[in-house]
Amino acid sequence: MKRIIAFILLACMMTCLCGVALADEVDVEAALAEAEGMTNEELYEKAKEEVAAGAQLNFYSTTSFAEKAAANFMAAYPELDGKVIYAEIDDGETYTILQNTIGSGVADSADMALTQNGSDLQTFMLDEGLTYSYFPEMYKDVVDEQFQKPAVVTFIDSLFIYNNTDGSIELTNVWQLTEPEWAGKVFFKDPTNETVNINFLIMLTSPEWVERMEEAYKSYYGEDWANEEEYENASYEWIDKFLANVNYTYTSASDMAKGIASGAGGNLGLFVFSKLRKVDEADRGNLTVVQFENDVEGFSGFMYNVYATVAKDTECPYTCALFINYLLGEEGFAGEDSWNSSQGYYSANSSIEKPEELEDEAYSYWSDKLVFEDAAYIYDHYVDVYEYISVRVGS
Amino acid sequence: MGEKKLAHRCKAFFSKPSNVLLVIFLAVLFVLSVLPLITMVTNMFTVHIGTEKKILRLQEGAFTWNHFERLFPISDWSVVNFWKPLGNSFVVAIGAGVLGILIGGTVAWFITRSNLRFKKFISAVFVFPYMMPAWTLALFWINVFKNSQVGGGNVGILESMFGICMPEWFVYGLFPMVIVIALHYSPFAYLLIGGILKNMDATLEESATILKAGRMKIIRRITMPIVMPAILSTFLLIFSSGFSSYTVPVFLGSAVKTFTLSTKMRALINAGYQGQGYIIAFVSIALGCFILGLNQWFTGKRKSFTTVTGKSGQVSLVDLKKANLPISLFLCVYVLFFAIAPLISFALESVIRQPGNYSLSNMTLHFWIGTEASAYETGMISGILLNPTMWKALGRQVLLALIVAVIVGTSGMLIGYACVRRRGSRLSRWVESMAFFPYLMPAMAFGTIYLAVATSQHFKFLYGTFGMLILVASIKFLPFASRSGINSMLQISPEIEEAAMVVGVPWWKRMVRIMFPIQKSSILSGYLLPVISVMREVALFTLLVPYARYLLTTMLFSFNETGYSQYGSAVTLLIVLIIILINTLTNKLTGASFDKGIGG
């Protein structure tokens, strides 16, 4: 009996402690500071040492393409083969997961993370010292300073894209989308479940974008916006009426791209441009990017950043640094089957251009056509706009 | 003297293995079930980092009533985030309960009390939907009924084959949620009600027949009162499961902005409103407790969930006469459509490139065995059978299922033994109630409780670990194993064990050599159910896995949420086939099986 009791107690203890790994302390911050000035060859040597000591790079990402990037990285650095482990995390739970696993001693917690939503990255990770920024000196001249710390490894855009089987929808002004005839015909992922979508709507309420929305309003209706009694500003009115028309049938951007391509003519989506690659070739011709047809007063979509940061308790800071260098460089970003070979991904490295054969434009082309995220503004206004939107989505 | 007496009493008390077991389980269940609940309750009154801290301008961990003030008084916010989803959850739960019983109960009656044809086939296949993750049925529903008039105008199977377009309320929203959840849980009603019907003493009906009572009168006055406790228990269990369903509303409700409490709970937690999310979880749990109370009030006894009843005599089957063939064929078509067709649909969806195009030229095995080069466009590095991530996730899921089955099955048997041997004692009642308590907690709410624990300062080492998943699943799936253990032990007369005690057989030997072999089949079923439950569970794990592709079911849910529909279909098919294989193997090797007790 005593043995049985002892066994049960032991099993309970083992269950509780399962997965807890004890790691040797590494001064990650100092290692990253040193890594910033090192060449890739030097970093590779250090990375080999880390891997030989038993480390592996657990790499968390919200973007599925990152799995391919990890595979390419290991092919480029064969002695790291099998040591870069990719884990896809849901956008909504990103920071809950990272906040609770980094530094907690959990085995296989993230060594490095590629995340979106700069406001939460700052609040939950960088301010709390859970992850560190790293940016190599070798790219300081080709990457704008504002994208260096934390390092932006790619930009992703969501654009207005429609099914052209019934001809052009002639969308020239975003206020058109608030008209009753668009009810149920414009597709957008539920912003209360998708941080980049809500961030885009939050950015619309910033003074700069309110001004642009008022200009677009005047151009469309021929008069100044003056609905202060009902709405705080023009952007809130647009958000309210736009969301009232939105159809939430598709819960993912991939489904939206495929669904709109094979669905009814005239349907319009605001979704991630790069998802066009998931549409079967036979249907791809059914989709048209509005911006490639004509300019849209207001905006043609929005752009958001994907950041790379390194966990404070990683056992392989040099491998992380080498991987970030790889993602920022030509080989990692523009190599075969990598981000740059798809529409809708743009490097912060200005020396990398989009391939000419792709129906896409350089990052600079989009600068005055899309809504760009400003983490500081989003941080300050998240609550007000989230609650405004949450009520509209659910009612 | 008093101390000596107390020591003697303690020694006498702990000399009985059943007492030792009860004390151990009481302590373990209190720590793993009640304490986490207390943690969650404290989280309902505290400020969390992030959004709440920003809104309230208070320190993390500070006391606040704000979460209650936002969620309960009528306002735009509370209507959208609480009251409306609450109403929807009630509609789904009541509808699914009623329909599930109608379907499951009717089929159970035909199988056990009539001379229906193809019984073995219908009986074996009818339980398939319960083995599938519920939302895969929701996806099947969408694939069949979507059409050019609703949603995105995409053509589904029904429209492409017959040109029929169903209205939006039929394809998305509360109606399909009720249907899908009822279909998923109707095997549950079938098993519980069928168990009673099969074991029902036939002499009662025969006596009525001799007294020239009509068939309908016999059903109304004899059969129905006998199965009424099972019907009520089943209704309340389906109600409880339907109320807390998370995955089905995600797929069938989001398109038409129909949210339930579970979907709102997750949305609020993810948006940084953790306090309000925890309150919703608590409301679901409180409702679960209310349901158990209601069930006890209706049935007047705690044994109401049992499927094992008194011994029956020879059952006389009702002759369906001319109606036999049409009813048999109808039921065959029914099970083919809702049990076999989804599997065929998943197989088909996993091999087509272009959605809706089922021609041979559009088919490929790329999503199963595609290599790196061809898989590039989808963002995956290979087809699922060649993808190490999938194999790791499958390995973890199977390992988790097996470990949980061993823990839960063994605990259930030991709880059953201890509770039955000390039947009537306060300790026994406490352990029995606490072992059943986790059933009342919706899976998502239960996951939320452990999320609250694992994100608290002292337990962060638990977050995202495999051990955490074992812990959560073991507690969550204990209720049926303990219920099954109690029921099976109740059937064993204490004299058998007492006889062994007289000749000095030690406790463990009595368990291994006497108790277990006598109820082998029933106890093994107690091990099997957690395996099946873990293999198809997602809501319980979704908040607790370190990343989406950690387990096969969370990976599948992520595939379905992010649009990897072909990979999702392939994984679904894989999961269902594994469950069927486990069930069949267990059945062949031990005689225990998921649908044991009814059969054809």
Instruction: Please indicate, yes or no, whether residues B69 and B202 belong to a single structural domain of this protein.
Output: yes
Residue B53 lies in a domain: no
CB B53 within 8 A of CB A38: no
CB B329 within 8 A of CB B219: no
Question: Could you tell me where the beta strands, DSSP code E, fall in B231-325?
Answer: none
Last residue of a domain, one of B289, B323, B349: B349
Q: What is the mean pLDDT of chain A?
A: 87
Average pLDDT, integer, range B554-570: 82
Pairing of strands A112-115, A57-61: parallel
Q: How far is A158 from chain B (nearest CA, A)?
A: 15
Instruction: Please indicate, yes or no, whether residues B37 and B102 belong to a single structural domain of this protein.
Output: no
Instruction: Please indicate, yes or no, whether residues B75 and B34 belong to a single structural domain of this protein.
Output: no
Of A103, A100, A105, A97, residue with least CA distance to A20: A105
Amino acid letter, residue A177:
L
Instruction: Please indicate, yes or no, whether residues B138 and B251 belong to a single structural domain of this protein.
Output: yes
* Residue A42 CB neighbours (<10 A): 14
**Residue-level pLDDT at A15:** 44
Residue B357 lies in a domain: no
**B341 has a pLDDT exceeding 70:** yes
**A142 has a pLDDT exceeding 90:** yes
Write out chain A residues lying below 8 Å of B406, CB-based: none
What domains are there in chain A, each with its CATH number? 25-154+305-361 (3.40.190.10), 155-304+367-394 (3.40.190.10)
Residue B375 lies in a domain: no
Using CB atoms, pick whichever of A65, A96, A258 lies closest to residue B563: A258
Instruction: Please indicate, yes or no, whether residues B82 and B182 belong to a single structural domain of this protein.
Output: yes
The CA angle B303-B306-B311, to the nearest 5 degrees, is: 105
User: Dihedrals φ, ψ of B64, to 5°?
Assistant: -155, 145
The CA angle B562-A284-A158, to the nearest 5 degrees, is: 50
Instruction: Please indicate, yes or no, whether residues B239 and B272 belong to a single structural domain of this protein.
Output: yes
**B468 has a pLDDT exceeding 60:** yes
Tell me the pLDDT tens digit for each residue of B72-113. 999 989 999 999 999 999 999 999 999 999 999 999 989 988
Tell me the pLDDT tens digit for each residue of A31-54. 999 999 999 999 999 999 999 998
Instruction: Please indicate, yes or no, whether residues B288 and B435 belong to a single structural domain of this protein.
Output: no
Residue B172 lies in a domain: yes
Q: DSSP letters of A126-194?
A: ITTTSEE----GGGTTTB-GGGTTTEEEEEEEEEEEEE-TT------BGGGGGSGGGTTTEE---GGG-
Could you tell me what percent of chain A has a pLDDT over 90?
55
**Which of the given ranges, A124-128, A258-262, B349-353, B511-515, has the highest pLDDT on average?**
A258-262
Over its C-alpha atoms, chain B yields an Rg (Å, rounded) of 25
With H, G, I as helix, E, B as strand and everything else as coil, classify residue A161.
strand
DSSP bridge partners of A61:
A88, A114
Tell me the pLDDT tens digit for each residue of A342-376. 899 999 999 998 888 888 898 989 989 999 999 88
**Residue-level pLDDT at A50:** 93
Residue B6 lies in a domain: no
**Residue-level pLDDT at A79:** 93
* Residue B408 CB neighbours (<10 A): 28
**Residue-level pLDDT at A21:** 39
Q: DSSP letters of B103-118?
A: HHHHHHHHHHHB--SS
Could you tell me what percent of chain B has a pLDDT over 90?
21
Average pLDDT, integer, range A18-24: 41
Q: Using CA atoms, how far apart are residues B515 and B497, in angstroms rounded to an integer? A: 8
Q: DSSP letters of B44-67?
A: TTB--TTHHHHHHT--TT-B-SHH
**B26 has a pLDDT exceeding 70:** yes
Instruction: Please indicate, yes or no, whether residues B33 and B71 belong to a single structural domain of this protein.
Output: no
Instruction: Grade residue B293 by pLDDT with cuts at 50, 70 and 90.
Output: confident
**Residue-level pLDDT at A279:** 85
**Which of the given ranges, B91-95, B137-141, B564-568, B583-587, has the highest pLDDT on average?**
B91-95
Instruction: Grade residue A10 by pLDDT with cuts at 50, 70 and 90.
Output: very low
- Return the DSSP state at A298: S
CB B582 within 8 A of CB B531: yes
Write out chain B residues lying below 8 Å of A311, CB-based: none
Token output for B170: 């039929």
Q: Which residues 176-215 of A are in CB contact (within 8 Å) with B? A: 187, 190, 192-193
Mark out the alpha helices in B441-590 (DSSP H runs): 443-454, 466-476, 478-490, 494-502, 507-510, 516-518, 520-536, 552-562, 565-590
B595: containing domain: 16-42+387-600
Last residue of a domain, one of B349, B371, B406: B349
Residue B9 lies in a domain: no
Q: Using CA atoms, how far apart are residues A182 and B547, in angstroms rounded to an integer? A: 38
Contact A248 B172 (CB under 8 A): no
Half-sphere exposure of B389 (CA within 13 A, CB side): 26
Last residue of a domain, one of B349, B372, B399: B349
Q: Using CA atoms, how far apart are residues B67 and B44, in angstroms rounded to an integer? A: 7
**Residue-level pLDDT at A394:** 73
Instruction: Please indicate, yes or no, whether residues B77 and B37 belong to a single structural domain of this protein.
Output: no
**Residue-level pLDDT at A200:** 95
Instruction: Grade residue A289 by pLDDT with cuts at 50, 70 and 90.
Output: very high
Token output for B134: 């519920």
Average pLDDT, integer, range B354-361: 75
Residue B532 lies in a domain: yes
DSSP bridge partners of B114:
B318
Tell me the pLDDT tens digit for each residue of A63-75. 767 878 888 899 9
Instruction: Please indicate, yes or no, whether residues B30 and B96 belong to a single structural domain of this protein.
Output: no
CATH number at residue B446: 1.10.3720.10
**Residue-level pLDDT at A213:** 97
Residue B238 lies in a domain: yes
**Residue-level pLDDT at A383:** 84
Instruction: Please indicate, yes or no, whether residues B209 and B92 belong to a single structural domain of this protein.
Output: yes
Q: Can you count the helices (H) and strands (E) in chain B? A: 34, 0
Note whether B454 contacts A: Cβ–Cβ < 8 A.
Answer: yes
Q: Which residues 532-591 of B are in CB contact (within 8 Å) with A? A: 543, 546-550, 558, 561-565
Instruction: Please indicate, yes or no, whether residues B25 and B114 belong to a single structural domain of this protein.
Output: no
Q: What is the mean pLDDT of chain B?
A: 83
Write out chain A residues lying below 8 Å of B455, CB-based: 96, 99-100
Instruction: Grade residue A17 by pLDDT with cuts at 50, 70 and 90.
Output: very low
Instruction: Grade residue B13 by pLDDT with cuts at 50, 70 and 90.
Output: confident
**Residue-level pLDDT at B181:** 95
Question: What is the domain count for chain B?
Answer: 2
CB A324 within 8 A of CB A134: yes
Instruction: Grade residue B373 by pLDDT with cuts at 50, 70 and 90.
Output: low
CB B256 within 8 A of CB A393: no
Average pLDDT, integer, range B124-135: 85
Complex ipTM, two decimals? 0.75
**Which of the given ranges, A150-154, A333-337, B530-534, B578-582, has the highest pLDDT on average?**
A150-154
